[in-house]
C-alpha cells in the first residue's frame, strides 16, 4: 500500500495535496448545512441547479435537450445551454455520481464542491507562480476558500464562469514562463469553455484590462513574451492552427444564440426593459445599475455584525486586513501596483453610474450592452486580485523583516498594528469570538516569525494561517447556516398560511415571444386553466390577427372552451380555416380520457402521439410553437401551425394516425454532440499531458 | 532680510524619508484615495448606497398597520424594526416630514414620549401649510395627558389642515407606498376623514373640559359643514352638552334627540335628556331616561364615551 502511495504521491505532490485538501475539508465542514441539504440553494443557484439537472438527466437518457417543455409552456433550450456551458466535460461528473447511486441533489452539491475546489486550486497555482514560498500561496488559497466566495456557489452561478477564468490565467502565466503545448492547449480549452457561455464578456473585459496593464507595467517582458510565443507558434504550426480552429468552433454556439436572439423568437422582458437596442438579451442602463457593485456589493458586514451575515454579503477573514495593515511599511513592488490598477480599473466599471467609465463603455462597446450583473467583476477578479495583493504585501513585509537587523522594532510595530486593529474591532458591533482569536493567532505568528528560525516559523505560519482563518469562518458560516435555515422555515410557514385567492400575472424571465403576449393580455386564471389541458381537439379553425382587441375575445373563447381554435391569418391559408356547425359547441379538452389520443413517447425534443379520430380534426398541443418544430403524420411531413396565439396546432386526418413532432434538425443535434465530444476529448488529452509532465500542476516547476 | 536657509542635511533627509515612504505599501492607500477623488462621483456613490441601505432595511409593517387600525387585539407590537427603519431614513434625509411623523408615532408607543412630541412638532407643517397627521397625533397625546389647551390647539390645527396636501404627501411618499402595498383595498382619504371626525370629537371634548361652550358651538358648526365626516351623533351630543351647560335646555334636548336618531346606545345622551326632564319637572320621563342610561352604562359598550378609544394614528 505504501509503495502504491509512494508511486502516486511524490513528497512534493503529497505536500501539495495536503496543503490543498485539508483546508478544503475544513471549508466543507463550515458549509455542512448546505452540503447536507439542511439549507437549500438560494436565488439564481436554484435555477442553474434545475437547468443542469434537466440537461444531465436528459444526457443520461441519451437525449440532447434543445427544448424545455416545462419552461413557461415550452421554450428553446439554447439560452440555458449557454448559461450552464453545455460542453463543460465536468458536468459528466454529475451523471457519473448519479450512475453510482448518489441522488441528483447530492450529486449536484458534490459537483459544486468539487468545482469550487478546482477554483481554489487554480488560484493556489497562480499564487505559486507569482510569489515564491508555499506559505504565501497557502495563505492566498485559505483566504480565497474561506471568503464569502464559498457562499456564492450556493447563491448564484458565477462559479461556472470563474473556474475556466482562473485556470486560463494559470495556463497563461505558465505559458509566459515556459511556452509548452500543455499550457497553450489548457488556455485555449478554458477560453473555449468561456466562449460557449452566453456571458464571455466578463472574461474579455478582465483579459483586456490585464493585457493593457501588463504591457504598461512589464513592457519589456511583454515584448519578449510576444517574441517567445511567436517562436512557439512557428515551431508548432499545426498544433497552433488546430487550437485556433478549436477556438473558432467554440464561438459557434454563442454566435448562433446571438443570431437566434435577433430573430425575436424569444423574449427576456425584465432583463431587456429600458434597453436602447431591439436585441432581447440587451440590458437597459438602469437595469445594469441595479446589478452593479453598489446594489449588490454588500460590504456592510465586512467588519461587523457577522452573526447576521446574509447570502451575497461580503466576508473576508480578518487575516486579510491584518496583513494589509501590518504590511503598510513593507516594500512595495511592481506586482502590487499591477494588481492594484487591475482592481481599480474593474472597480470603476463595477460602480456604473458612480463613475463615467461604465457609461462610456456602454455607449461605445457593444458587449457592455449585454452585461447585466456587473458586480460579478468583484467575484471574478476584484476579490481574488485583492487577496493576491494582500498576500504579496505580506510576502514583502516578511522579506523586509528578514532583511532588517532590527527585528525587535518590527515586532513592536506589528504589535502596534494589532492593537490598532483590536481597537478598531472594539468599536464594531457584534464581533464574534473567532475574530478575536484570529487576531491573537496572527500576533503569535509574527512573534514566532521575528523570534525563531525559519525551520520553526514556516510550519507555524501554515498552522497559524489555517487556524486563524478557519476558527473565524467556522463561527461566521455557522451563523449563516442557522440564519438561512430559519428564513427557509419562516418562508415555508408563510407560504402555507398566506394564500392569495386571486391568481396573479406570472413574472416572465425568459419565454417565447407569443407566450409572453398571452401572459400580458390574458387573465392569469383563464390562462392557468387553459394550460391544464395538454391537448385540445377542435372542429372550427378561425384566422385572427395578433392584436390586443383580438386577445380579449380569445380570452372569452378560451374561458368558455368554445370549439374554435385560432390560427394566425398571416401564417396560415384558407385551406387551414374550416368551420363545422354540426358539432358540439365545446372543444374536447381531454382527448386522452376519451381515447382519441394517446402519447406513445415524449422527451425534451420529441412528441410521438397516436390518434384515433372519427373525422378530421384540429389538434392543439399546448406546448409553445417555434419555427424549428417539425411535424410528421404517418411518416409524412405535415403542416404545423401556431395555434391559439402561442401553441402548436395541426390538422389530423380521420382514423388511426401516428404523429411525430420533432424540434430542430438532426444535424444540429449532431453538431452539439460533436462539440461536446470535442471538449471532452481535449479535456482528456490535457489530463494525459498533465500526467506526462507532473511539474505542470505544482506551479513552481 | 536674510534668506532662510534649510540645511542641506535636512533636505536630504526629507528626500530620503519621502523616497522611503514612496517605496512602501502605504503608497497604495494614497493612490486609492487620489483615484477615488478623481474618478469616482462620490455624491452618486453615497446616494446610491443610502438607497440600497434603505431598500434593504424595509421592515414588515403589518403589525404597525393593525395597531393603528385597532385590529391587533392583545398582540404586542415589536416597534424596533420600524423605529430603526425610520431613523435610518432620517439619517439620510433629515428633513423628511413623513419619516418624522411616522417615527413620532412609533416613538410614542415605544415609550419615548418627549422625542415623539418633538418629532411630531417638527413635522406639523410644510412651509406654513398645516399637515393633518402630526397635528392630530399631538392633539391626541396632549388630550391623553389632560393638557386641554395644548390638545385643543393641535386638534384645531388638525381639523383646519389641508387634507388634500396630506393626501398628496402620503401618495408621493415611498414609505407610505411600502406601507400601503400590503393594503390594496385601503383608501387613505377615508382614513383621513375618519381621523378628522375623531379630531372633532376630541376638540369638542377639550373645549368642554375648558368650559369654552361658545367655541364648542363654533366647532360643531364647522364639523356639520363637512359632509364627509362620520360620527355626527357625537357632534350633536357635544353641541347639546354645550347648550346644556349654558342653560339653553330647549336647544340642548333638540340636539340630544338628534344624536339619538343616529346612535341609540350612548348612555350619556339618555342621562342628559333625563337630567333636563328632571330639571323641568317631568319626573316620569326623567326616570325612564335615567333608567335607560343606567342600563346602557351597565352594558359597557366600548364605543362610549366617544373619546375613550381614540388613539394616535398614521393611516
Which of the two residues, A696 and A549, has the higher pLDDT score?
A: A549
Residue A72 C-alpha, separation from nearest chain B C-alpha, in angstroms: 27
Instruction: Test A332 with B39 for CB contact under 8 angstroms.
Output: no
Is residue A552 over pLDDT 50?
yes
Structural domains of chain B in order of their starting residue, each with its CATH number = 41-123 (1.25.40), 127-315 (1.25.40.10)
A396 CB within 8 Å of a chain B CB: yes
What is residue A536's three-state secondary structure?
A: strand
Buried b (16+ CB within 10 A) or exposed e, B171-199: eebebbeebbeeeeeeebeebbbbbbbbb
Contact, A459 vs A19, CB < 8 A? no
From first CA to last CA, the distance across chain A in angstroms is 28
Chain A closest-CA separation from residue B78 CA (Å) = 17
| pLDDT, tens only, A379-427 | 999 999 999 999 999 999 999 999 888 889 999 999 999 999 999 999 8
Cell triple for A289: 445599475
Instruction: Decide if B25 and A332 are in contact by the 8 Å CB cutoff.
Output: yes
From the list A328, A353, A357, the residue facing B25 with the nearest CB is A328
Our CA-based measurement puts residue B18 at a distance from the nearest CA of chain A, in whole angstroms, of 13
Q: Do B45 and A351 touch (CB under 8 A)?
A: yes
User: By C-alpha distance, which of A31, A36, A71, A26 is closest to A51?
Assistant: A71
A337/B25 Cβ within 8 A: no
pLDDT of residue B101: 93
B35·A332 Cβ contact <8 A:
no
Beta strand A617-624 pairing with A647-652? antiparallel
Concatenating the DSSP letter of every residue in B120-188 gives HHHTSEETTEE-HHHHHHHHHHHHHHT-HHHHHHHHHHHHHS-HHHHHHHHHH-HHHHHHHTT-TT--H
Dist. CA A13–CA A7, nearest whole Å: 11
Contact B91, B71 (CB under 8 A): no
Q: Which residues of chain B have pLDDT under 70?
A: 1-9, 72-74
% of chain A at pLDDT higher than 70: 95
The pLDDT of residue B5 is: 57
Q: How far apart are CA A480 and CA A476, in angstroms?
A: 6
- The whole-angstrom separation of Cα A432 and Cα A474 is 11
Contacts of B42 in chain A (CB under 8 A): 354
CA distance A105 to A358: 39
Test A340 with B44 for CB contact under 8 angstroms: no
* pLDDT band of A299, cuts 50, 70, 90: confident
- How far does CA A197 lie from the centroid of its chain? 9
Query: A357 to chain B: which residues are within 8 Å by CB?
Result: 39
How much is the average pLDDT of A2-8?
Answer: 56
Could you tell me the pLDDT band of residue A130, with boundaries at 50, 70 and 90? very high
Q: Is the pLDDT of residue A576 over 80?
A: yes
Question: Are A519 and A551 in contact, with CB atoms under 8 Å apart?
Answer: no
Q: How high is the pLDDT of residue B1?
A: 45
Put simply, whether A331 touches B (Cβ < 8 Å) is: yes
Residue B113 and residue B101: Cα distance in Å, rounded? Answer: 13
Q: Which of B105, B106, B86, B85 is nearest to B96 (CA)?
A: B86
Q: How confident is the model at residue A141 (pLDDT cuts 50, 70, 90)?
A: very high
Do residue B40 and residue A354 have CB atoms under 8 angstroms apart?
A: yes
Count of C-beta atoms within a 10 Å radius of residue A597:
23
Cβ–Cβ of B28/A354 closer than 8 Å? no
Q: Over the stretch A19-66, which tens digit does the pLDDT of each residue have? A: 899 999 999 999 999 999 889 888 889 989 999 999 999 999 999 999
Dihedral (CA of A660, A665, A666, A668) sign: negative
- Angle separating helix axes B188-210 and B232-245, nearest 10 degrees: 10
| pLDDT tier, A600 (very low <50, low <70, confident <90, very high otherwise) | very high
* Nearest beta carbon to residue A332 from set B27, B49, B56: B27
Chain B residues within 8 A of A324 when measuring between CB atoms: 25
**Cβ-defined contact of B29 to A328 (cutoff 8 Å):** yes
d(CA A455, CA A459): 7
Substitution target from B25, B52, B62 for chain A, most A beta carbons within 10 A: B25
Q: CA of B42: which chain A residue's CA is closest?
A: A354
A161 in reach of chain B (CB within 8 A): no
Mean pLDDT in residue range A503-508: 71
Rounded CA gap, A250 and A674, in Å? 11
The DSSP secondary-structure symbol of A601 reads E
Please report the pLDDT score of residue A252 as a whole number: 92
Is residue A96 within 8 angstroms of chain B, CB to CB? no
Q: How far apart are the first and last CA of chain B?
A: 78
Cell numbers placing A508: 416572465
Cross-strand bridge partners of residue A144: none
What span, in angstroms and rounded, lies between the C-alpha atoms of B219 and B204? 7
What is the rounded CA–CA span in Å between residue A225 and residue A227? 5
**Which tens digits make up the pLDDT trace of A73-100?**
999 999 899 989 999 999 999 999 999 9
- Torsion angle of the four alpha carbons A302, A307, A308, A313, in this order, in degrees rounded to the nearest 10: 30
Residue closest to A400 by CA, chosen among A327, A455, A340, A468: A327
Q: Is the pLDDT of residue A663 over 70?
A: yes
Which helix or strand (DSSP H or E) is residue A194 part of? helix A181-195
Q: Say if CB A369 and CB A283 are below 8 A apart.
A: yes
Lowest model confidence (mean pLDDT) among A436-440, A474-478, B285-289 = B285-289
Q: For A619-630, what is each residue's pLDDT tens digit?
A: 999 999 999 999
Is the pLDDT score of A194 beyond 60? yes
ipTM for the complex shown: 0.84
- CB contact under 8 Å between B48 and A295, yes or no, is yes
- Which residues does residue B125 pair with via DSSP β-bridges, in sequence order? B130
- Residue A354 is nearest to which of B27, B35, B44, comparing CB atoms? B44
Interface A-B, measured as beta-carbon pairs within 8 A, has a size of 59
A287 touches chain B (CB under 8 A): no
Question: How big is chain B by its Cα radius of gyration, in Å?
Answer: 30
Which pLDDT belongs to residue A489? 80
- From chain B, the residues in CB contact with A393 under 8 A are 25
The three cell numbers locating residue A636:
409524412
Cis check for the bond before A639: say yes or no (omega within 30 of 0): no
Residue showing cell 513585509: A397
Residue numbers in B near A298 (CB within 8 A): 56
Question: By C-alpha distance, which of A187, A150, A194 is closest to A169?
Answer: A187
Chain B residues touching A491 at Cβ < 8 A: none
Strands B125-126 and A636-638: unpaired
pTM: 0.82
Grid cell for residue A183: 499550457
Q: Show the cell assigned to B129.
A: 401649510
Tell me chain A's radius of gyration from C-alpha atoms.
Answer: 30
Q: Are A236 and A185 in contact (CB under 8 A)?
A: no
pLDDT, average across residues A509-518: 89
Window A:357-376, CB contacts with B under 8 Å: 357
The A residues from 190 to 229 touching B (CB cutoff 8 Å) are none
Residue for cell digits 466535460? A89
Instruction: Tell me the H-state helices in A100-157.
Output: 104-130, 134-146, 149-152
Q: What is the pLDDT, as a whole number, of residue A701?
A: 38
The number of beta carbons lying within 10 Å of the beta carbon of residue A446 is: 25
The label of the residue with cell 504565501 reads A136
Task: Give the 3-state secondary structure of residue A594.
Answer: coil
Q: E strand or H helix at A185, and its extent?
A: helix A181-195
Set of chain A residues whose Cβ sits within 8 Å of the Cβ of B52? 294-295
- List the beta bridge partners of residue A544: A568
User: What pLDDT score does A509 carry?
Assistant: 82
Q: Is beta strand A67-68 parallel, antiparallel or unpaired with respect to A75-76? A: antiparallel
**Residue A283 to residue A279: CA distance in whole angstroms:** 9
Which residues of chain B approach chain A closer than 8 Å at the C-beta? 23-29, 31-32, 35, 39-42, 44-45, 48-49, 52-53, 56
pLDDT in tens, A613-662: 999 999 999 999 999 999 999 999 999 999 999 999 999 999 999 999 99
Within an 8 Å CB–CB cutoff, is residue A92 touching chain B? no
Mutating which of A309, A336, A344, A375 best tests the B interface, going by the most B Cβ atoms within 10 A? A344
Q: What is the dihedral of CA A152, A154, A160, A161, to 10 degrees?
A: -20
Which residue is closest to A294 within chain B, CA to CA? B49
CA B280 to chain centre: 44
Cα(A436)–Cα(A425) distance, integer angstroms: 9
Do A330 and B24 count as a contact with CB atoms less than 8 A apart? yes
Amino acid at each position: 500500500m505504501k509503495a502504491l502511495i509512494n508511486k502516486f504521491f511524490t513528497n512534493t505532490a503529497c505536500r501539495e495535496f495536503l496543503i490543498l485538501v485539508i483546508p478544503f475539508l475544513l471549508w466543507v465542514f463550515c458549509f455542512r448545512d448546505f452540503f447536507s441539504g439542511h439549507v437549500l440553494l438560494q436565488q439564481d443557484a436554484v435555477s442553474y441547479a434545475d437547468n443542469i439537472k434537466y440537461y444531465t438527466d436528459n444526457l443520461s437518457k441519451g437525449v440532447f435537450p434543445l427544448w424545455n417543455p416545462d419552461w413557461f409552456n415550452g421554450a428553446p433550450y439554447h439560452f440555458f445551454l449557454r448559461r450552464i456551458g453545455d460542453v463543460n466535460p465536468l458536468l459528466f461528473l454529475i451523471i457519473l455520481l448519479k450512475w453510482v447511486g448518489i441522488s441528483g441533489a447530492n450529486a449536484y452539491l458534490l459537483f459544486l464542491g468539487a468545482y469550487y475546489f478546482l477554483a481554489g486550486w487554480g488560484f493556489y497555482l497562480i499564487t505559486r507562480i507569482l510569489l515564491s514560498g508555499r506559505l504565501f500561496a497557502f495563505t492566498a488559497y485559505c483566504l480565497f476558500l474561506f471568503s464569502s466566495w464559498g457562499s456564492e456557489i450556493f447563491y448564484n452561478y458565477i462559479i461556472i464562469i470563474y473556474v475556466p477564468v482562473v485556470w486560463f490565467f494559470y495556463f497563461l502565466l505558465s505559458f509566459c514562463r515556459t511556452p509548452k503545448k500543455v499550457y497553450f492547449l489548457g488556455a485555449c480549452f478554458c477560453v473555449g469553455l468561456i466562449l460557449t457561455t452566453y456571458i464571455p464578456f466578463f472574461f474579455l473585459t478582465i483579459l483586456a484590462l490585464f493585457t493593457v496593464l501588463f504591457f504598461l507595467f512589464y513592457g519589456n517582458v511583454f515584448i519578449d513574451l510576444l517574441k517567445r510565443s511567436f517562436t512557439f507558434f512557428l515551431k508548432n504550426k499545426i498544433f497552433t492552427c488546430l487550437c485556433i480552429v478549436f477556438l473558432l468552433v467554440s464561438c459557434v454556439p454563442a454566435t448562433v444564440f446571438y443570431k437566434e436572439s435577433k430573430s425575436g423568437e424569444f423574449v427576456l422582458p425584465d432583463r431587456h426593459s429600458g434597453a436602447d437596442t431591439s436585441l432581447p438579451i440587451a440590458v437597459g442602463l438602469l437595469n445594469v445599475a441595479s446589478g452593479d457593485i453598489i446594489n449588490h456589493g454588500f460590504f456592510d458586514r465586512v467588519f461587523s455584525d457577522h452573526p447576521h451575515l446574509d447570502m451575497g454579503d461580503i466576508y473576508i477573514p480578518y487575516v486579510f486586513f491584518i496583513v494589509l495593515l501590518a504590511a503598510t511599511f513593507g516594500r512595495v513592488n511592481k506586482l502590487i501596483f499591477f494588481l492594484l490598477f487591475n482592481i481599480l480599473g474593474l472597480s470603476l466599471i463595477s460602480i456604473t453610474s458612480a463613475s463615467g467609465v461604465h457609461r462610456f463603455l456602454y455607449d461605445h462597446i457593444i458587449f457592455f450592452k449585454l452585461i447585466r450583473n456587473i458586480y460579478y467583476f468583484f467575484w471574478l477578479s476584484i476579490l481574488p486580485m485583492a487577496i493576491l495583493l494582500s498576500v504579496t504585501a505580506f510576502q514583502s513585509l516578511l522579506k523586509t523583516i528578514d532583511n532588517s537587523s532590527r527585528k525587535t522594532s518590527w515586532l513592536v510595530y506589528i504589535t502596534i498594528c494589532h492593537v490598532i486593529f483590536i481597537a478598531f474591532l472594539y468599536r464594531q458591533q457584534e464581533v464574534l469570538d473567532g475574530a478575536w482569536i484570529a487576531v491573537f493567532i496572527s500576533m503569535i505568528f509574527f512573534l514566532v516569525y521575528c523570534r525563531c528560525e525559519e525551520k520553526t516559523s514556516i510550519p507555524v505560519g501554515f498552522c497559524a494561517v489555517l487556524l486563524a482563518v478557519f476558527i473565524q469562518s467556522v463561527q461566521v458560516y455557522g451563523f449563516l447556516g442557522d440564519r438561512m435555515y430559519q428564513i427557509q422555515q419562516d418562508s415555508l410557514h408563510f407560504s402555507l398560511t398566506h394564500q392569495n385567492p386571486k391568481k396573479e400575472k406570472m413574472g416572465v424571465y425568459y419565454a417565447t415571444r407569443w407566450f409572453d403576449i398571452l401572459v400580458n393580455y390574458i387573465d392569469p386564471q383563464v390562462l392557468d386553466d387553459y394550460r391544464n389541458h395538454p391537448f385540445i381537439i377542435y372542429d372550427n379553425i378561425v384566422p385572427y390577427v395578433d392584436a390586443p382587441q383580438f386577445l380579449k375575445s380569445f380570452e372569452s373563447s378560451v374561458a368558455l372552451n368554445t370549439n374554435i381554435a385560432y390560427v394566425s391569418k398571416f401564417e396560415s391559408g384558407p385551406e387551414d380555416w374550416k368551420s363545422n356547425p354540426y358539432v358540439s359547441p365545446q372543444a374536447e379538452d381531454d382527448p386522452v380520457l376519451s381515447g382519441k389520443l394517446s402519447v406513445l413517447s415524449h422527451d425534451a425534443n420529441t412528441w410521438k402521439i397516436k390518434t384515433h379520430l372519427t373525422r378530421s380534426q384540429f389538434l392543439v398541443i399546448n406546448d409553445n410553437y417555434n419555427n424549428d418544430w417539425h411535424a410528421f403524420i404517418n411518416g409524412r411531413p405535415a403542416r404545423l401551425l401556431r395555434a391559439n396565439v402561442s401553441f402548436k396546432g395541426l390538422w389530423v386526418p380521420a382514423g388511426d394516425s401516428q404523429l411525430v413532432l420533432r424540434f430542430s434538425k438532426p444535424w444540429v443535434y449532431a453538431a452539439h454532440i460533436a462539440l461536446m465530444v470535442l471538449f471532452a476529448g481535449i479535456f482528456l488529452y490535457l489530463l494525459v499531458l498533465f500526467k506526462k509532465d507532473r511539474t505542470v500542476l505544482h506551479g513552481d516547476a | 532680510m536674510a534668506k532662510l536657509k534649510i540645511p542641506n542635511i535636512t533636505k536630504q533627509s526629507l528626500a530620503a524619508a519621502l523616497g522611503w515612504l514612496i517605496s512602501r505599501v502605504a503608497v497604495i492607500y494614497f493612490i486609492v484615495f487620489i483615484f477615488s477623488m478623481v474618478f469616482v462621483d462620490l455624491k452618486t456613490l453615497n446616494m446610491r448606497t443610502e438607497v440600497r441601505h434603505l431598500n434593504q432595511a424595509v421592515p414588515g409593517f403589518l403589525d404597525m398597520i393593525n395597531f393603528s387600525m385597532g385590529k391587533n387585539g392583545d398582540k404586542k407590537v415589536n416597534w424596533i424594526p420600524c423605529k430603526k427603519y425610520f431613523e435610518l431614513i432620517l439619517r439620510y434625509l433629515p428633513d423628511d416630514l413623513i419619516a418624522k411623523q411616522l417615527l413620532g408615532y412609533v416613538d410614542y408607543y415605544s415609550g419615548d414620549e418627549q422625542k415623539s412630541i418633538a418629532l411630531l412638532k417638527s413635522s406639523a407643517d410644510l412651509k406654513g401649510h398645516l399637515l393633518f397627521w402630526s397635528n392630530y397625533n399631538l392633539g391626541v397625546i396632549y388630550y391623553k395627558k389632560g393638557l386641554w389647551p395644548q390638545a385643543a390647539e393641535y386638534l384645531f390645527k388638525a381639523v383646519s389642515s389641508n387634507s388634500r396636501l396630506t393626501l398628496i404627501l402620503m401618495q408621493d411618499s415611498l414609505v407610505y407606498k411600502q406601507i400601503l402595498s400590503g393594503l390594496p383595498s385601503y383608501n387613505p382619504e377615508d382614513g383621513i376623514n375618519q381621523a378628522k371626525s375623531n379630531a372633532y370629537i376630541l376638540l369638542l371634548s377639550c373645549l368642554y373640559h375648558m368650559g369654552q361652550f361658545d367655541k364648542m358651538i363654533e366647532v360643531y358648526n364647522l364639523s356639520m359643514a363637512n359632509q364627509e365626516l362620520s360620527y355626527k351623533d357625537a357632534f350633536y351630543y357635544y353641541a347639546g352638552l354645550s347648550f346644556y351647560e349654558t342653560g339653553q335646555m330647549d336647544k340642548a334636548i333638540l340636539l340630544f334627540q338628534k344624536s339619538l336618531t343616529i346612535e341609540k346606545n350612548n348612555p350619556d345622551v339618555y342621562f342628559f335628556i333625563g337630567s333636563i326632564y328632571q330639571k323641568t319637572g317631568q319626573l316620569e320621563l326623567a326616570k325612564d331616561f335615567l333608567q335607560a342610561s343606567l342600563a346602557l352604562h351597565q352594558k359597557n359598550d366600548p364605543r362610549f364615551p366617544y373619546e375613550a378609544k381614540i388613539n394616535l394614528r398614521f393611516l
